[in-house]
Amino acid sequence: MDAIFAKTAKGHAEITTKAGGLTPRIRRVLIFIDGKRTVEDLRSMLTADDLQITLGRLEEEGYIELIHGAAIASAPPPAAAAASITAFRPLPPAPDPTHLQQARNFMTNTLNAFIGTMGASSLLQRISEAQTHEHLRELFDEWFHTLVNSREGRREAEALRGKLLQVI
């Protein structure tokens, strides 16, 4: 992944003033963003299990901006920026039912293992009903966020994210 983020004026001001009320963990991610490091570089340097969510939040709140990645020519809309962080593989020209079922099973099994059926029943139902890769991709962020919010899932979230991105 070659997405690179840089601090905005608001981001630089936050480093100096701490006026935005960012948590220490989110602030640490902001400090490491320098306009040169790729998202993968940040992922290897930081122990944040929810780096994707943190970068999305910092971007939405105006602390950082995408300067290199999928949409280099102009400032990307929020959906394009999220896609660059998520790094979905290109969809096959024809629907691939095997990969769709693998992705659906993987999402279901990880939620059951780390959250439990009752803790994620609504999300599990929507995953089960997803008919296309696009539908599963719409549920990806919620799946990842749900894992990161559990103690056991937080430790494994990045590895699980990478495995799911191979088939989704």
Instruction: Tell me the two tokens of residue 80.
Output: 């394009």
Considering the chain, what percentage of its residues have pLDDT values greater than 90? 37
What is the maximum span of the chain, computed from C-alpha positions, in angstroms? 52
Q: Which helix (H) or strand (E) holds 12?
A: helix 9-17
Q: Find the DSSP H helices in 33-77.
A: 39-45, 51-60
Highest mean pLDDT among 18-32, 37-51, 71-85: 18-32
Secondary structure of residue 5 in the 3-state scheme:
strand
Contacts of residue 21, Cβ cutoff 8 Å, sequence gap at least 6: none
pLDDT (tens digit per residue) in 27-58: 999 999 999 998 888 888 887 667 888 888 89
pLDDT score recorded for residue 69: 62
pLDDT score recorded for residue 161: 83
pLDDT at 154 over 80: no
Picking from 43, 134, 63, the residue whose alpha carbon sits closest to that of residue 95 is 134
Picking from 114, 121, 110, the residue whose alpha carbon sits closest to that of residue 151 is 114
pLDDT score recorded for residue 127: 95
The predicted model scores a pTM of 0.54
pLDDT (tens digit per residue) in 101-147: 999 999 999 999 988 888 788 999 999 999 998 999 999 988 988 88
Average pLDDT score over the chain: 82
